[in-house]
Amino acid sequence: MIRWVGGLGMLGLGAGLGGCAKPTDKASDTAGGGGGGGREVTVALMPKSKGNAYFISCRKGADEAAKELGVKILWDGPTEPDPAKQNEIVETWVTRGVDVIAVAAENRAGISTALRKARTKGIKVVTWDSDAEPDARDFLVNQATPEGIGRTLVEEASKAMGGSGEYAIITASLTAANMNEWQKHIELTRVAKFPALKMVALRPCDDLKDKAFNEATALLNAYPNLKLILAICSPAVPGASEAVKQSGRKDVRVVGLGLPNDNKRYVKEGITPSVILWNTADLGYLTVHAAHALATGTLKAGATKYRAGRLGELEVQGDNILLGQPFVFTKENIDRFDF
Amino acid sequence: MKARTTTVGGGGSSWLRIETVLVVMLVVLLVVFGRYGRNFWTAENFFEVIRLTVEIGLIAMVMTPVVLSGGIDLSVGSLLGLCGVVFGKLWRDVGMTPLAAAAGAIGVGALGGCLNGLLITRLRLPPLIVTLGSYSLFRGLAEAMTGGVDNFTGFPRDFLFLGQGYWFGFLPAQVPIFLGVSMGVWVLVHRTTMGRALRVIGYGREGAIYAGLPVDRHFLVLYTLAGLVVGCSSMIYVAHVGQAKADAGTGYELLAVTAVVLGGTSIFGGRGSVQGTFLGLMVLAVLKNGMTLSDLPSELVGIVTGLLLLTVLTGEVLMKRIGKVGREGEG
């Protein structure tokens, strides 16, 4: 009993002292301090998961922008997709005090709570790659419009399938906003322009390559007439391609959103005729640039254009900052890229 | 100096006990992170540290008597996920109010715990084996109910207050619940006959049976209680994160056991204290929080936690060798 009182007393003392104490000797980097005057801007950058090659490649661009602008980046997040951990880290960042929080949200509704809290403390919030709820962030840094992504995916799928047939979609998770947006536009484009294509299944793989492999194998078994697997998250493309390769089914193709390095092998073997993406390093670069601009007040709500360093002038649609158009990697051009 | 400790206080010399070590460790962490962490020593952060640890904390608290009795419950994390999913289903698909759905979910938690208890007492299987089975069973049920993918969000603001709201603007809503349950568990373990009985059972189960203690009844109540607390924790989790998903709580059982063992409760049973678990939780929570505020990446927390645990346990063994503390490990 004494020990417990002692322990609680110790904590109470700590809190009491803390309430009076100043937070360390460092220059106060607390939230809401709108840049200017040579103070270093701190951007807290969080991917969906740190172990994902896609996000690691985004980080390269982010680091480049950080060096260029003199921004301090805090790069943290769960090693595997985990909404609860994302929330926890964001909430601790709010306590720490940063200028901007930039998150690729694993769970749209869940992360929004923490982000709204950040905004009430004067911290600027952007989302990148995958959105939160619109009132929880200032801007979304979007790699391409969902229409563009959805349309390109269906066009490439149709090419690979010869214009008609059955296909299945492997997605990351059912809660990630970007996945849902892309699925919506895939369906819209399909209905409008490629009605001869039929979707027979939609399976999530939790952004994990191994799970995508298993899902693809199951799909191949369940649907003997399947012509194509549309893998719309980057770990799923090589996962599904490997499954197709091991199954020996020569009539099935894989098309999806993925990194060139992950898929070079399968593209050359013909299993994956095309891989669609965007320059991920540019996405990271743009995110940090936009975050810095928000913190210093250069970028404000209602802007229609934004000049992002070496990327030049980019379009801002409402609260979406657009990186550009999707890019298609094929056998012909994939060797030019290394990420 | 007693040759052998007995029960209620945990015994042994007062200076070299594990709680002292933990308090010292806590002070060291507070000082270090006060120096290197941004906004660490603020009242706001103090409350956040407790707030973010409530979900695992509740489980760790109720895990203490379980481990003390020589058992363990590996199914708590899975049960957390299951209760969350049940809550989501009851609220969204059956149309119950959040309060009713929560009651249902907590009830499922108690049922799950009761199942553990029944299997342990009726089938005479070791708790490790039983809860290993229910670990898979509960998770499987949760995943089956959602097809592995469905999740529930969009809960009303009033419910979310439980995990995200603050009383009077500064006291996180879940903290009074956590403190209340902690006090309750402390009273159970240190001030009731059941608590004393559990300790004796952990110390030596056969002896307890021959002494006429109602071992089976105690176990049944204990594991059902554990399930109940897990259900409560699950509601706080869902309110905090704002979603109920089948994989919630993955790994929580090990985190809870870590806090319990760090707090000085012997994994063999018979020795330990609730305040030790509380201190262990605080050390782990402060560690995680302080490291993030010091801009250290989150994966380092695991490494440091592991080292901490090994250091504390080694220290404990060394203290025993010096002969001043408690009884030897095995019974």
| A86-96 pLDDT per residue, tens | 999 999 999 99
Query: Quick check: A208 and A181 in contact, CB under 8 A?
Result: no
Q: Are residues A154 and A238 in the same domain?
A: yes
Interface test with B, best of A1, A11, A29, A174 (most B CBs within 10 A): A11
Q: Are residues A102 and A199 in the same domain?
A: no
B133: DSSP letter? H
Give me the pLDDT at residue B324, please.
Answer: 55
Domains of chain A: total: 2
DSSP β-bridge partners for residue A125: A101
Higher per-residue confidence, B150 vs A284: A284
What percent of chain B clears pLDDT 70, i.e. is strictly above it?
92
With 0-12 / 13-18 / 19 or more C-beta atoms within 10 angstroms meaning exposed / middle / buried, residue B280 is buried
Q: Write down which residue in A221, A243, A277 finishes a domain.
A: A277
Residue with tokens 């299993």: A271
Show the tokens assigned to A308.
């992002």
Residue among B63, B193, B180, B187 at smallest CA distance from B131: B63
Show the tokens assigned to A12.
């109470």
Residue B322 confidence class, pLDDT cut points 50, 70, 90? confident
Q: Are residues A264 and A163 in the same domain?
A: yes
Three-class SS of residue B89?
A: helix
CA of A247 to nearest chain B CA: how many angstroms apart?
25
pLDDT over 50 (residue B15) = no
pLDDT over 70 (residue A19) = no
Mean pLDDT, chain B, integer: 88
- A2-20 helix and B43-68 helix, angle to the nearest 10 degrees: 160
Query: Quick check: A234 and A53 in contact, CB under 8 A?
Result: yes
Q: Are residues A252 and A285 in the same domain?
A: no
CA B304 to chain centre: 20
Q: Are residues A79 and A92 in the same domain?
A: yes
Cβ-defined contact of A96 to B245 (cutoff 8 Å): no
Residues of A in contact with B45 (CB under 8 A): 18, 95
Longest dimension (CA), chain B: 62
**Interatomic CA distance for residues B181 and B278, integer angstroms:** 11
CA of B322 to nearest chain A CA: how many angstroms apart?
22
DSSP β-bridge partners for residue A168: A201, A229
Cα Rg, chain A, nearest whole Å = 22
DSSP β-bridge partners for residue A74: A44
Q: Are residues A109 and A181 in the same domain?
A: no
Residue A257 included in any domain: yes
Three-state secondary structure string covering chain A: CHHHHHHHHHHHHHHHHHHHCCCCCCCCCCCCCCCCCCCCCEEEEECCCCCCHHHHHHHHHHHHHHHHHCCEEEECCCCCCCHHHHHHHHHHHHHHCCCEEEECCCCHHHHHHHHHHHHHCCCEEEEECCCCCHHHCCEEEECCCHHHHHHHHHHHHHHHHCCCEEEEEEECCCCCHHHHHHHHHHHHHHHHHCCCEEEEEEEECCCCHHHHHHHHHHHHHHCCCEEEEEECCCCHHHHHHHHHHHHCCCCCEEEEECCHHHHHHHHHHCCCCEEEECCHHHHHHHHHHHHHHHHHCCCCCCCCEEECHHHCEEEEECCEEECCCCEEEECCCHHHCCC
Give me the pLDDT at residue A200, please.
Answer: 92
pLDDT over 90 (residue A144) = no
Cβ-defined contact of B41 to A23 (cutoff 8 Å): yes
pLDDT over 50 (residue A15) = no
Interface test with B, best of A1, A2, A4 (most B CBs within 10 A): A4
Residue A105 included in any domain: yes
A237-291 per-position pLDDT tens digit = 999 999 999 998 889 999 999 888 889 999 999 899 999 998 888 999 999 999 9
Query: Quick check: B79 and B112 in contact, CB under 8 A?
Result: yes
Tell me what ipTM this predicted complex has.
0.79
Q: How many residues does chain A have?
A: 339
Residues of B in contact with A50 (CB under 8 A): 297, 299
Measured between its terminal Cα atoms, the distance across chain A in Å is: 59
Other beta carbons less than 10 A from residue A186's beta carbon: 25
Q: Are residues A241 and A193 in the same domain?
A: yes
Other beta carbons less than 10 A from residue B103's beta carbon: 16
Give me the pLDDT at residue B149, please.
Answer: 66
Q: Are residues A174 and A114 in the same domain?
A: no
Cβ-defined contact of B17 to A97 (cutoff 8 Å): no
Q: Write down which residue in A220, A249, A277 finishes a domain.
A: A277
Cβ-defined contact of B23 to A7 (cutoff 8 Å): yes
CA distances from A102 to A10, A281, A311, A315 (A): 36, 15, 19, 19
Q: Write down which residue in A252, A277, A302 finishes a domain.
A: A277
With 0-12 / 13-18 / 19 or more C-beta atoms within 10 angstroms meaning exposed / middle / buried, residue B132 is middle
pLDDT over 60 (residue B11) = no
Measured between its terminal Cα atoms, the distance across chain B in Å is: 20
Three-class SS of residue B167?
A: strand
Residue A36 confidence class, pLDDT cut points 50, 70, 90? very low
Residue A139 included in any domain: yes
Query: What is the average pLDDT across B155-162?
Result: 89
Higher per-residue confidence, B18 vs A124: A124
Residue A118 included in any domain: yes
Give me the pLDDT at residue B16, please.
Answer: 54
CA B179 to chain centre: 13
Residue among A183, A162, A196, A159 at smallest CA distance from A232: A183
Residue A45 included in any domain: yes
Q: How many helices (H) and strands (E) does chain B have?
A: 13, 4
Residues of B in contact with A24 (CB under 8 A): 34-38, 40
Residues of B in contact with A115 (CB under 8 A): none
Residue A331 included in any domain: no
What percent of chain B clears pLDDT 90, i.e. is strictly above it?
62
Q: Which residues make Cβ contacts (< 8 Å) with residue A124, sequence separation at least 6? A: A99, A100, A101, A138, A291, A294, A295
Residue B148 confidence class, pLDDT cut points 50, 70, 90? low
pLDDT over 70 (residue B5) = no
A7, A91, A96 member nearest B279 (Cβ): A7
Query: What is the average pLDDT across B313-321?
Result: 75
Mean pLDDT, chain A, integer: 85
Residues of A in contact with B44 (CB under 8 A): 95
- Type of residue numbered B267: I
A172-196 per-position pLDDT tens digit = 987 788 888 899 999 999 999 999 9
Q: Are residues A153 and A49 in the same domain?
A: no
Across B242-246, B266-270, B287-291, the highest mean pLDDT is recorded for: B287-291
Query: What is the average pLDDT across B291-307?
Result: 88
**Interatomic CA distance for residues B161 and B167, integer angstroms:** 9
CA of B53 to nearest chain A CA: how many angstroms apart?
10
Residue A8 included in any domain: no
Q: Which residues make Cβ contacts (< 8 Å) with residue B87, sequence separation at least 6? A: B101, B102, B104, B105, B152, B234, B235, B238, B244
What region does B48 belong to: left with phi over 0, alpha with psi -120 to 50, or beta? alpha
Query: Quick check: B59 and B80 in contact, CB under 8 A?
Result: yes
CA of B155 to nearest chain A CA: how many angstroms apart?
10
Residues of A in contact with B263 (CB under 8 A): none
Three-class SS of residue B9?
A: coil
pTM, to two decimals: 0.81
Residues of A in contact with B160 (CB under 8 A): 113
Q: Are residues A155 and A198 in the same domain?
A: yes
B176-229 per-position pLDDT tens digit = 999 999 999 999 999 999 999 999 999 998 999 999 999 999 999 999 999 999
B23, B274, B297 member nearest A76 (Cβ): B297
Higher per-residue confidence, A309 vs B64: B64
**Interatomic CA distance for residues A118 and B171, integer angstroms:** 18
CA of A171 to nearest chain B CA: how many angstroms apart?
11
Residue among A171, A88, A187 at smallest CA distance from A130: A171
Cβ-defined contact of A112 to B242 (cutoff 8 Å): yes
Q: Are residues A231 and A315 in the same domain?
A: no
CATH of the domain at A162: 3.40.50.2300
- Say how many CB pairs under 8 Å bridge A and B: 138
Residue A82 confidence class, pLDDT cut points 50, 70, 90? confident
Q: Which residue of B has its CA nearest to A81?
A: B247
Residue A337 included in any domain: no
B160, B273, B289 member nearest A92 (Cβ): B289
Q: Which residue of A has its CA nearest to B38?
A: A96
Q: Are residues A270 and A163 in the same domain?
A: yes
Residue B323 confidence class, pLDDT cut points 50, 70, 90? low
Three-class SS of residue B153?
A: strand
Q: A291: domain range?
A: 30-143+280-323
